[in-house]
Amino acid sequence: MNITLRVWRQANASAEGRMVTYQVRDVSPDMSFLEMLDLLNEDLTVKGEEPVAFDHDCREGICGMCGVVINGTAHGRGDSPVPTTTCQLHMRSFEDGATIDVEPWRAGPFPVIKDLAVDRSAFDRIIQAGGFISANTGAAPDAHAAPVGKLKADRAFDAATCIGCGACVAACPNSSAMLFTAAKITHLAMLPQGQPERFLRVKSMLAQHDEEGFGGCTNIGECAEVCPKQIPFDTISQLNRDLISSLFKKDGK
Amino acid sequence: MTTTTEKPAPTKAAKPLPGADFFTVGADIKDTKAPSGPIEQKWSKRKFEAKLVNPANRRKLTVIIVGTGLAGGAAAASLGEAGYNVLNFCYQDSPRRAHSIAAQGGINAAKNYRNDNDSTHRLFYDTVKGGDYRARETNVYRLAEVSANIIDQCVAQGVPFAREYGGLLDNRSFGGVQVQRTFYARGQTGQQLLIGAYQALERQVAAGTVKMHTRHEMLELIVADGRARGIVTRDMVTGQIQSWFADAVVLATGGYGNVFFLSTNAMGCNVTADWRAHRKGAYFGNPCYTQIHPTCIPVHGETQSKLTLMSESLRNDGRIWVPKRAEDCDKDPRQIAEADRDYYLERIYPAFGNLVPRDIASRQAKNMCDEGRGVGPAVKEIGEDGQERQVRRGVYLDFADAISRLGKDGVAARYGNLFDMYAQITGEDPYETPMRIYPAVHYTMGGLWVDYDLSSNVPGLYVTGEANFSDHGANRLGASALMQGLADGYFVLPNTINDYLAGAPFDKLDDTHPAAVEALASVKDRIDKLLAVNGTRTVDSFHKELGHIMWEYCGMERTEAGLIKAIGLIRKLREEFWRDVKVTGVNEDFNQTLERAGRVVDFMELGELMCVDALHRRESCGGHFRAESQTEDGEALRHDDEFLYVAAWEYTGTAQAPVLHKEPLEYNFIELKQRSYK
């Protein structure tokens, strides 16, 4: 396969970026999208040009480090038959001779570092605000001390599969990180261990979400469409319910 | 060097070790930290005897932790909770990305929730046996002992383990053991455990006890006045080279499987932190012990960047075969008649069939492909004769029998997520055509040598998780990597590092100390050198070539001649690298080519040491088949009389003969046995 790529090139956070066109030849349909970018970068390096910077690590769809907008959708969801991360998108999803646009996540709270790599440290700060259970090492009771009903355990698990890639933010017209935040709220709210801090958590995390500059949720649902882990959209309803409940409770209750 | 004994090398080693031209033999070493007495009481005794640090004094002490996976993240959170100042570093953009996240199967713990006769002693026994009697008994017993605490801790943090309808935790059996002791979270156990540790870590970041530095790569260790006192990092966004000082340094930087270029590791996994410490005096234990996993998705071509593992639970219901005749290899497998198929594992090992251990399943797959009976796309290789050849590297894993027995829905219920993953990567439907699998490098049992306290031989340098050599011997049992990472991070290190820190605080250091001056200068020099070569070959082309050499000569099957050849090839490659590599851009930038170049330099040096270690160990053991050491019917043959020791290597200079220090292994609580699966 031969592919025409139009890639966002931006030298650093303060530089102006632009789309640059490259030809990539001898692409195998079995290559992953990132292996196709590797091929481009090998070619650029041999020519003495700067390779395209992009974040990636595990290349098996679980670490959440990769993520670019492909032909206008996060992780190339529009080209993929199934929900996917960028690293698990394969070139067989494209036609020979296709022109493919590749851009970074675009959101105010995710400033571009270089080319396709962005700074997602805002997500870590949302977790710091309360996305945890305060249980110091060594203080745990026996694991069977608190049974968890299967339905709640499964709902907690579905929410806990979030990989923090940021596709939800990139897809949202409001640049909202509500699906990310709601996934953690729902995961911990379903478990008995998460109850003591439940209502303080939702207030703190949401305050940090807004502080970072992420927009509000207007129930558009693009986030859940592109989510590689299919975090349920109704986790946001769970967040809203917990937030309303929290208004009637003193902190720590 | 507190743990090196004074006595000279043992004189009984009259028989020279293989490859003796490539190394020298130094004094034996031993662990001096495990207390005497019954094995059940050693850990309690050690915890009681270890010195303590008063809570009010802890905030005056600083600990550097490199890595944020299970071993690093758990240690950083726990030491933060204890009140120490922790400086934590990772190369990713967030601590949540560490490659522990990719572990699928589960985590062992001796809870005996199944009432099936499990116990601390049984987990200890299974782990030592699984490691083919090359692990240290005392460490492994402790691992089994604290395993139950790990599950309690994770549940308290909100880790959503699989549960039954009664609300209690589910277990499954894993890795060929006869009890159900593996806790799991669907196929994402590593992810859920890591997110638990990550959340505990971020809680400490918020509390101010842990300072997190993401996108920072450790490029040098600072050893001042005989103690590990700091590191030098490069800020991967700005290129700033900076020193950091502390009272102790912990390396939790994972394994080095990427020395083979293709492995199941993440692209960024590297040996640089371990290797820089090794160059500063830390011994490297058993570097040639790598684990090859039999059920990975095969290589599709030369542009392949990494390999993906599928859970080996697939072997419970899948049947492995290749065509009997090489000319059938490019046929549609569904058109190959039953009589023309060779179910080779069932043929050679009738008792265990497709469930033989990982190393045997892997080696036989290689043998079939070497015979020309592999399937799938042919891939270019350089043979032992130096000639290019095209070889099919794949064998079938067929579920047709299972589908007729259980129905498609029954198979989907057991393996649906794995089938989906396979279909997404290969574009083939495994319900219709047999899967293709091939072995891949998965885990490295070797690593920096540590004692019972997880201290290296450099005072103040601790090593945890996959980065150390300690608990898995020559092969790792399934579902025990997660257990070791969290045991080290949550329960072992926080209880042993006090003993060292009780002697702190040490003199305050800054960039004017000669050790810091030297470390900073060596990092800058190396980067300048890499950028100055301006040759014609890309970094990845060197890395791939190194990988081919390692996989061919230091992979599943090794020979003396092959290993000697590999050492020569690696030296030649290193020389060519420094003459002809092309590293684009500048240091003061987000420069991913420069990052990779530095890692490949260290991989090339490590690769040579791995070959030397493999060369000297003339026995087949654990995951390694040494062609010169086999039984009459071609099975692995261990030599306890000659090689019952840990090989701890001391660095003496690039391309200089390293010094071998042996730590003899003593089995006082478990009887040594030769494995047999026929």
**CATH number of residue B380's parent domain:** 3.90.700.10
Nearest-Cα residue of chain B relative to residue A138: B153
Kindly indicate whether the domain formed by A121-137+144-246 is annotated with CATH number 2.60.40.1220: no
**CATH number of residue B609's parent domain:** 1.20.58.100
**B164 and B255 share one domain:** yes
- B-chain CB neighbours of A140 within 8 Å are 149, 152-153, 155-156
- Which amino acid does the sequence have at B467? A
Degrees to nearest 5, angle at CA B248 with B242 and B251: 75
Substitution target in A137, A180, A193 with the highest count of B β-carbons within 10 Å is: A137
Q: Is B65 domain-assigned?
A: yes
**B46 and B173 share one domain:** yes
pLDDT above 80: residue B542? yes
Total of domains in chain B: 3
Per-residue pLDDT, B360: 86
In B, residues 410-469, which contact A (CB 8 Å cutoff)?
420, 424-427
**B522 and B593 share one domain:** yes
pLDDT lower than 50: segments of chain A: none
Of B161, B165, B203, the CB nearest to A132: B203
Of A62, A140, A147, the CB nearest to B167: A147
Per-residue pLDDT, B18: 85
Would you call B96 an interface residue with chain A, using a CB distance cutoff of 8 Å?
A: yes
Nearest-Cα residue of chain B relative to residue A85: B424
- B-chain CB neighbours of A45 within 8 Å are 538-539, 582, 584, 593
Give the count of beta carbons closer than 10 Å to the beta carbon of residue B81.
22
Per-residue pLDDT, A70: 98
Of B81, B93, B584, the CB nearest to A120: B93
pLDDT above 90: residue B3? no
**CATH number of residue B48's parent domain:** 3.50.50.60
Peptide bond into B377 cis (omega under 30): no
Report the alpha-carbon distance of residue B657 to residue B37 in Å, rounded.
39
Same topology, domains A3-103 and A121-137+144-246? Answer is: no
Structure tokens at B591: 């420069």
The DSSP bridge partners found for residue B451 are none
**B334 and B432 share one domain:** yes
Nearest-Cα residue of chain A relative to residue B489: A137
- In terms of Cα–Cα distance, which of B13, B24, B28 is closest to B457? B28
pLDDT above 90: residue B385? no
Per-residue pLDDT, B90: 98
Per-residue pLDDT, B14: 53
* Domain span holding position B531: 514-664
**B235 and B172 share one domain:** yes
Interface predicted TM-score of the whole assembly (ipTM), two decimals? 0.98
With bands split at pLDDT 50, 70 and 90, how would you rate the model's confidence at B253? very high
Whether B303 and B320 have beta carbons less than 8 Å apart is answered as: no
pLDDT above 90: residue B657? yes
Per-residue pLDDT, A252: 53
Whether A215 and A181 have beta carbons less than 8 Å apart is answered as: no
- Maximum CA pair distance of chain B? 76
* B605 phi and psi angles, rounded to 5 deg: -70, -45
Place domain A3-103 in its CATH homologous superfamily.
Answer: Beta-grasp domain (3.10.20.30)
Would you call B584 an interface residue with chain A, using a CB distance cutoff of 8 Å?
A: yes
Residues sharing a CB contact under 8 Å with residue A89, sequence separation 6 or more, in sequence order: A32, A33, A70, A75, A76, A79, A80
Task: Check A128 against B192: CB less than 8 A apart.
Answer: no
Report the alpha-carbon distance of residue A142 to residue B197 in Å, rounded.
18
**B567 and B554 share one domain:** yes
Residues sharing a CB contact under 8 Å with residue B283, sequence separation 6 or more, in sequence order: B29, B448, B449, B456, B457, B648, B649, B650, B661
Half-sphere exposure of A40 toward its Cβ, with a 13 Å CA cutoff?
A: 24
Of B74, B163, B303, the CB nearest to A150: B163
Average pLDDT across chain B, whole number: 94
Nearest-Cα residue of chain B relative to residue A147: B167
DSSP code for A4: E
Per-residue pLDDT, B313: 81
- pLDDT tens digits, residue range B606-649? 999 999 999 999 999 988 899 999 998 888 899 999 999 999 99
With bands split at pLDDT 50, 70 and 90, how would you rate the model's confidence at B678? low
**B119 and B160 share one domain:** yes
Report the alpha-carbon distance of residue B306 to residue B265 in Å, rounded.
8
- pLDDT tens digits, residue range B6-21? 444 444 445 778 888 8
Give the count of beta carbons closer than 10 Å to the beta carbon of residue B499.
18
Map out the domains of chain A as residue ranges.
3-103, 121-137+144-246
Report the alpha-carbon distance of residue A61 to residue B125 in Å, rounded.
35
Mean pLDDT of B338-359: 91
In A, residues 62-121, which contact B (CB 8 Å cutoff)?
62-65, 82, 84, 88, 90, 92, 113-114, 117, 119-121
Q: Where are the alpha helices (DSSP H) in B324-470?
A: 344-348, 358-370, 400-426
pLDDT above 80: residue B184? yes
Q: End of a domain among B442, B466, B493?
A: B442
| Element (DSSP H or E) covering residue B571 | helix B560-580
Mean pLDDT of B233-238: 98
Nearest-Cα residue of chain B relative to residue A133: B157
- pLDDT tens digits, residue range A153-179? 999 999 999 999 999 999 999 999 999
Per-residue pLDDT, B358: 83
Per-residue pLDDT, B478: 84
- In terms of Cα–Cα distance, which of B107, B464, B452 is closest to B255? B464
- A-chain CB neighbours of B494 within 8 Å are 137
Using DSSP's 3-state secondary structure scheme, residue A230 falls into coil
Of A32, A63, A153, the CB nearest to B101: A63
Q: Is B105 domain-assigned?
A: yes
Rg (CA), chain A: 20
Structure tokens at B325: 């005749």
**B253 and B393 share one domain:** no
Would you call B57 an interface residue with chain A, using a CB distance cutoff of 8 Å?
A: no
Q: End of a domain among B442, B467, B488?
A: B442
Would you call A55 an interface residue with chain B, using a CB distance cutoff of 8 Å?
A: yes
Per-residue pLDDT, B649: 98
Per-residue pLDDT, A144: 96
- B-chain CB neighbours of A141 within 8 Å are 152, 156
Task: Check B99 against A63: CB less than 8 A apart.
Answer: yes
- B-chain CB neighbours of A88 within 8 Å are 424-425
- A127: closest CA of chain B, how far (Å): 7
**DSSP per position, B56-102:** HHHTT-EEEEE--SHHHHHHHHHHHHHT-EEEEE-SSSSGGGSGGGG
Would you call A49 an interface residue with chain B, using a CB distance cutoff of 8 Å?
A: yes
Mean pLDDT of B36-52: 97
pLDDT above 60: residue B418? yes
B461/B675: higher pLDDT: B461
Of A63, A121, A146, the CB nearest to B266: A63
- pLDDT tens digits, residue range B563-617? 999 999 999 999 999 999 999 999 999 999 999 999 999 999 999 999 999 999 9
Q: Is B396 domain-assigned?
A: yes
Q: Is B669 domain-assigned?
A: no
Backbone region of residue A64 per phi and psi (left: phi > 0; alpha: psi in -120 to 50; beta: other values): left
Mean pLDDT of B45-61: 97
